[in-house]
């Protein structure tokens, strides 16, 4: 009330400069604490500029459970600066007052003051004992410290000055002064380490607890410097070790302050012992000297040879480590007892000269010098320069390999786009008929007449444009062929602009773009479900593969196939764009894909007569189409009403009905059929209806060089194998049912082998992605040359590496193609003794794990490496993981092809039987080729290596 009355009567003219005007501020407000413990304090004050400011302090009130001792201490009356704090505040206050400490003597008497002065009085006072705090100058006890002695200056005047007194006197601890007892009062061997102490334990508590077992010289509790609370451990030093041991025996595990104590000797830690350190250093030095001496003795000096005069009585026969090594005993003896050299005297001239005659051994075992030496043939020597010879003894454990790799030349420019098995003109001329497309089939060169040079790059070749930009444009000089531009300019396939080919995304039946075309298919049949139910697609007669290119954005893999016909280079354009593709044709043989491989088969003006020969080509599609899959046909017979085209449509309807296909939708120029999910329709047909079901003994997954297609319907597995698949992407990691049908020698379950392969490759590729930056180096077209179950490709897909993988299953191993396609991946069967059906310079990465150690028994490794060089892009990479005994030869071949090779160890270490060969195909521009011109030839190269 007084402040309010004073404020009301306040006049500014009555106040001076030094007067306090805080009474004008509003009163202090306290709000809370609320239900959350939030408390606000609002105060007002004047700042340095005499302006009124409001200060709001927000605090949180928390309830803490304290020990009884702490709660009791809070009830004590406050003193000093803490006495001005409000009730309920328990903040730690640091005192700024001068507090004089006074220690008592051993008997509890109070300290006696010594007020004597002078030299004699100080000496008498210093001889008196009993007080711990004694001034070292005036010997006054309990009054002040030595540094604050009032007689310090007086004593310095009484002393005789010396030379050393000119400098500042340094502090000397009492234990180092003259006459002091320097024996240590602390013995760590008698110290006991106490753990599991409560936060409130102090040194006095330990003294009271342990003094019952003997004399205690010191007790120490480790305190936290911030909270000043016990850190949970401490030390107690006994005078006698026996007393310390007795305390440990009685108090170890003793309950103290709701905790169980743990005790041991502080010096009992073996690692802290100096003896242990000395012994450890001695042992390490001994081991190091042993191994160094062993290494030097093996490399730099001869081994000692030991002899025993007594025969061995052991029935066990063992081989000595020196078995098979020759030693010159005379040299060893001479090294120990050197014989002085005899004086050198010139030898007498020989009366006769013996001539050594060299010859050959005839059939009678005698030496004969009658033999002829043939003429040197340079061409024969050059032709045999690239051969690899392997000589094996009768003992299978030892194999001697002689590697002879000569220079590998560059082929002529006419072979820039050479495909050995499809460009064999001589074999094609010998064909009896070509009415069913036999000229588009594989006709590989005979053994010894294959590729023996590296295929050159086109003039002006540049590194490919990376994905996804490559979907819409590629360099003209990389695929310098304009036939498709001339023939398909009005169908929105491909355009040429300056130094690039442009791909607008159209096709013959979808000139408005592939995206709109795919949307139409999805609207017609929503169950197709691109990217979930439909994952793997076959596009027949693909053109420039725009259909498959735009399906990539919908998480669908499309195998685009087309023959090397009048249009040529369709597949080369597709691979240059970064789209999966292969050169293949529907002729008289099975395609190299397993049964029930594709979820959807697409044919848009693919120029194939599906009804010829009782529909034998559509039966091949039926074999590869998954049960419940779709066949999409976009062609003129679907929508045109000409008489001939209407007859073709009726024939197509009749054939698909006999195949039990269901016409799901016909709209515009599109017709979509669905394959049945079981054999019920086939078994319910009349026996006279053709075509019949294939024999149960017929293997629909056998595809390598299967001649003469059979006009029969491939049976669907009765157990649902190949049809009951999980949607993508879960099918990638789910072991498929057809895994159990794989003919493989395995001592463990196939599912465990399937999972183990994926984990193995995922760990390796994770390291590649992290260390070798696989996501940044522009990998797009990848081939796994020995795929197994497709674990390598699955790991790349799981790790989101933006590439596609063609999984190649060699004919020399088990046929795992059904499992690869059931996982939602692409694959093909191939024999690596023959060339692959693709254009040169089409893959960024070739991966071969365990391939050469198996194929070397059947194939020439130089032939395989040359084929790898043909299909690898300039700047592309090769990763070969194989056994040690093939690596040296592979590295020599790689160097001969001008690859950059690096041989490295695997993660198993230097003693593992496997190695990794990293190769990179160097980019050779057309300027490099012009410096080393080659003669025009078809297969054998006579040019110079550069």
Three-state DSSP string of 72-83? HHHCCCCCHHHH
Three-state DSSP string of 738-764? HHHHCCCCCCCCHHHHHHHHHHHHHHH
Does residue 145 contact residue 111 with C-beta atoms inside 8 Å? no
Give the residue with greater pLDDT, 53 vs 809.
Answer: 809
The conformational region for residue 125 under phi > 0 = left, psi -120 to 50 = alpha, else beta, is: alpha
- Give the model's pLDDT for residue 932: 43
Name the range with the highest mean pLDDT among 60-64, 178-182, 376-380.
60-64
CA dist 149 → 70, 97, 136, 143, 325 (Å): 39, 20, 9, 9, 90
Does residue 570 contact residue 599 with C-beta atoms inside 8 Å? no
Chain segment 177-206, per-residue pLDDT in tens: 655 554 445 566 788 888 888 888 888 888
Does residue 536 contact residue 598 with C-beta atoms inside 8 Å? yes
What is the C-alpha separation between 838 and 828, in angstroms, rounded?
A: 12
Give the residue with greater pLDDT, 917 vs 290.
Answer: 917
Is the pLDDT at 663 greater than 60? The verdict is yes
End-to-end, the C-alpha distance of the chain in Å comes to 108
Locate 754 and state its tokens. 């399937």
**What is the mean predicted confidence (pLDDT) over 362-379?**
44
- Give the model's pLDDT for residue 375: 40
**What is the mean predicted confidence (pLDDT) over 863-883?**
95
**What is the mean predicted confidence (pLDDT) over 339-362?**
46
What is the C-alpha separation between 248 and 240, in angstroms, rounded?
A: 13
Give the residue with greater pLDDT, 783 vs 488.
Answer: 783
**What is the mean predicted confidence (pLDDT) over 859-876?**
94
What is the C-alpha separation between 122 and 120, in angstroms, rounded?
A: 5
- Strand pairing class (625-634; 670-674): antiparallel
In which band, very low, low, confident or very high, does the pLDDT at 16 lie, cut at 50, 70 and 90?
low
**What is the mean predicted confidence (pLDDT) over 764-777?**
89
**What is the mean predicted confidence (pLDDT) over 509-521?**
86
φ, ψ of residue 673 to 5 degrees: the values are: -110, 155
- Give the model's pLDDT for residue 78: 79
Place of tokens 């099918």: 731
Locate 669 and state its tokens. 């120029």
What is the C-alpha separation between 328 and 333, in angstroms, rounded?
A: 9
What is the C-alpha separation between 650 and 644, in angstroms, rounded?
A: 10
Locate 907 and state its tokens. 């993660």
Is the pLDDT at 656 greater than 60? The verdict is yes
What is the C-alpha separation between 921 and 872, in angstroms, rounded?
A: 8
- Give the model's pLDDT for residue 258: 52
Chain segment 706-720, per-residue pLDDT in tens: 978 989 999 998 888
Question: How many other C-beta atoms lie within 10 A of the C-beta of residue 33?
Answer: 14
**What is the mean predicted confidence (pLDDT) over 798-821?**
95
To the nearest 10°, report the CA torsion of 772, 776, 780, 786: 10
Does residue 716 contact residue 723 with C-beta atoms inside 8 Å? yes
Is the pLDDT at 783 greater than 80? The verdict is yes
In which band, very low, low, confident or very high, does the pLDDT at 73 lie, cut at 50, 70 and 90?
confident
Give the residue with greater pLDDT, 263 vs 1.
Answer: 263
**What is the mean predicted confidence (pLDDT) over 632-656?**
93
- Give the model's pLDDT for residue 742: 87
In which band, very low, low, confident or very high, does the pLDDT at 40 lie, cut at 50, 70 and 90?
confident
Place of tokens 């696989």: 774
The rounded mean pLDDT for the chain is 78
Q: Give the Cα-Cα-Cα angle 781, 783, 784 (nearest 5 degrees).
A: 150
- Give the model's pLDDT for residue 586: 93
**What is the mean predicted confidence (pLDDT) over 547-568?**
90
Locate 174 and state its tokens. 């009492």
Question: How many other C-beta atoms lie within 10 A of the C-beta of residue 643?
Answer: 7
Place of tokens 């008196």: 128
Give the residue with greater pLDDT, 728 vs 62.
Answer: 728
b/e per residue 552-572 (b: at least 16 CB within 10 A): beeebbbbbbbbbeebbbbbb
Three-state DSSP string of 515-528? HHHHHHHHHHCHHH
pTM for the whole structure: 0.59
Three-state DSSP string of 488-504? CHHHCCCEEECCEEECC
Is the pLDDT at 726 greater than 80? The verdict is yes
Place of tokens 């002085």: 340
**What is the mean predicted confidence (pLDDT) over 797-823?**
95
- Give the model's pLDDT for residue 594: 95
What is the C-alpha separation between 751 and 44, in angstroms, rounded?
A: 77
Q: Which stretch of 103-107, 632-636, 876-880, 914-918 has the lowest confidence by average pLDDT?
A: 103-107
φ, ψ of residue 595 to 5 degrees: the values are: -75, 150
Is the pLDDT at 777 greater than 60? The verdict is yes
In which band, very low, low, confident or very high, does the pLDDT at 247 lie, cut at 50, 70 and 90?
confident
**What is the mean predicted confidence (pLDDT) over 107-124?**
44
Residue 843: closest CA among 867, 875, 872 = 872
Give the residue with greater pLDDT, 656 vs 510.
Answer: 656
To the nearest 10°, report the CA torsion of 74, 77, 83, 89: 20
- Give the model's pLDDT for residue 666: 94
The conformational region for residue 359 under phi > 0 = left, psi -120 to 50 = alpha, else beta, is: beta
In which band, very low, low, confident or very high, does the pLDDT at 556 lie, cut at 50, 70 and 90?
very high
The secondary structure of 396-453 as a DSSP string is TT-EEEEE------BPPGGGTT--TTT--HHHHHT-S--TTSGGGS--PPPTTSS--S
């Amino acid at each position: 009330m007084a402040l309010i009355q004073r404020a009301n009567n306040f006049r500014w003219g009555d106040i001076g400069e030094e007067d306090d005007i805080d009474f004008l501020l509003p009163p202090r407000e306290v709000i809370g604490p609320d239900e959350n413990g939030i408390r606000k304090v609002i105060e007002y004050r004047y700042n340095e500029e005499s302006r009124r400011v409001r200060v709001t302090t927000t605090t949180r009130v928390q309830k803490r459970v304290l020990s009884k001792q702490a709660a009791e201490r809070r009830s004590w009356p406050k003193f000093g600066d803490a006495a001005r704090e409000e009730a309920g505040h328990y903040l730690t206050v640091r005192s700024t007052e001068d507090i004089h400490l006074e220690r008592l003597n051993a008997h509890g008497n109070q300290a006696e003051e010594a007020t004597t002065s002078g030299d004699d009085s100080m000496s008498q006072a210093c001889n008196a004992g009993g007080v711990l705090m004694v001034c070292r100058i005036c010997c006054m006890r309990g009054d002040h410290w030595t540094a604050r002695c009032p007689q310090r200056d007086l004593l310095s005047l009484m002393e005789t000055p010396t030379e050393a007194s000119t400098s500042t006197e340094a502090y000397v601890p009492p234990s180092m002064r003259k006459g002091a007892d320097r024996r240590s009062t602390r013995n760590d061997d008698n110290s006991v380490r106490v753990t599991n102490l409560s936060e409130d334990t102090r040194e006095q508590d330990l003294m009271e607890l342990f003094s019952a077992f003997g004399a205690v010289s010191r007790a120490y509790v480790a305190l936290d410097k911030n909270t000043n609370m016990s850190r949970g451990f401490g030390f107690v030093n006994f005078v006698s070790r026996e007393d310390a041991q007795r305390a440990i025996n009685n108090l170890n595990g003793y309950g103290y302050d709701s905790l169980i104590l743990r005790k041991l000797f502080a010096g009992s830690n073996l690692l802290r012992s100096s003896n242990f350190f000395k012994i450890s250093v001695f042992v390490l030095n001994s081991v190091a000297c042993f191994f160094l001496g062993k290494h030097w003795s093996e490399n730099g000096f001869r081994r000692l040879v030991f002899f025993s005069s007594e025969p061995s009585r052991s029935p066990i026969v063992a081989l000595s480590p020196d078995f098979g090594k020759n030693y010159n005993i005379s040299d060893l003896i001479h090294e120990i007892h050197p014989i002085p050299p005899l004086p050198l005297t010139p030898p007498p001239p020989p009366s006769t000269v013996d001539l050594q005659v060299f010859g050959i051994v005839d059939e009678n075992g005698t030496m004969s010098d009658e033999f002829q030496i043939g003429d040197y043939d340079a061409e024969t020597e050059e032709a045999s320069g690239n051969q690899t010879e392997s000589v094996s003894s009768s003992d299978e454990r030892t194999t001697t390999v002689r590697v002879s790799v000569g220079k590998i030349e560059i082929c002529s420019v006419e072979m820039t786009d050479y495909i050995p098995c499809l460009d064999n003109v001589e074999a094609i001329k010998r064909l009896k008929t070509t009415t069913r497309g036999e000229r588009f089939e594989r006709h590989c060169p005979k053994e010894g007449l294959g590729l023996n040079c590296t295929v050159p790059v086109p003039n002006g070749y540049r590194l490919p444009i990376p994905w996804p930009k490559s979907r819409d444009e590629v360099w003209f000089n990389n695929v310098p062929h304009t036939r498709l531009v001339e023939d398909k300019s009005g169908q929105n396939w491909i355009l040429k602009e300056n130094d690039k080919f442009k791909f607008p995304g159209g096709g013959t039946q979808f000139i408005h773009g592939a995206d709109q075309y795919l949307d139409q298919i999805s609207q017609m049949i929503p169950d197709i479900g691109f990217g979930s139910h439909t994952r793997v697609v076959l596009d027949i007669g693909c053109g420039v593969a725009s259909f498959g290119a735009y399906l990539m954005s919908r998480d669908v893999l499309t195998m685009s196939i087309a023959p090397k016909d009048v249009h040529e280079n369709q597949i080369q354009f597709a691979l240059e764009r970064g789209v999966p593709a292969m050169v293949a044709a529907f002729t008289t043989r099975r395609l190299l894909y397993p049964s029930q491989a594709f979820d959807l088969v697409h044919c848009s003006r693919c120029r194939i007569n599906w009804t010829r020969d009782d529909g034998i080509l559509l039966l091949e599609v039926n074999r590869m189409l998954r049960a419940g899959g779709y066949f999409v046909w976009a062609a003129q017979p679907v929508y045109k009403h000409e008489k001939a085209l209407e007859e073709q449509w009726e024939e197509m309807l009749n054939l698909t009905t006999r195949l039990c296909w269901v016409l799901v939708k016909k709209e515009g120029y599109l017709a979509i059929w669905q394959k049945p999910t079981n054999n019920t329709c086939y078994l319910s047909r009349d026996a006279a209806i053709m075509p019949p079901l294939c024999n149960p003994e017929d293997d629909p997954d056998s595809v390598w060089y299967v001649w003469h297609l059979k006009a029969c319907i491939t049976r669907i597995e009765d157990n649902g194998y190949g049809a009951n698949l999980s949607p993508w992407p879960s099918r990638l990691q789910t072991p498929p049912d057809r895994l159990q049908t794989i003919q493989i020698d395995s001592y463990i379950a196939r599912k465990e082998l399937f999972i183990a392969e994926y984990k193995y490759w995922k760990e390796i590729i994770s390291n590649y992605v992290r260390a070798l930056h696989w996501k940044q180096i522009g990998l797009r077209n990848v081939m796994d040359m020995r795929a197994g179950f497709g674990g390598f490709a699955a790991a790349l897909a799981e790790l989101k590496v933006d590439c596609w993988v063609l999984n190649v299953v060699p004919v020399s191993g088990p046929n795992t193609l059904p499992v690869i396609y059931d996982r939602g991946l692409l694959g093909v069967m191939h024999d690596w003794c023959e060339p692959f059906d693709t254009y040169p310079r089409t893959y960024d990465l070739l991966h071969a794990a365990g391939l050469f150690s198996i194929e070397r028994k059947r194939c020439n490794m130089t032939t395989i490496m040359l084929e790898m060089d043909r299909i690898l892009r300039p700047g592309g990479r090769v990763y070969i993981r194989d056994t040690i005994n093939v690596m040296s030869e592979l590295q020599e071949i790689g160097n001969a092809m001008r690859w950059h090779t690096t041989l490295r160890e695997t993660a198993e270490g230097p003693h593992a039987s496997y190695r990794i060969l990293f190769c990179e195909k160097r980019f050779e521009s057309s300027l490099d080729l012009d410096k080393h011109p080659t003669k025009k030839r078809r297969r054998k190269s006579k040019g110079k290596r550069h």
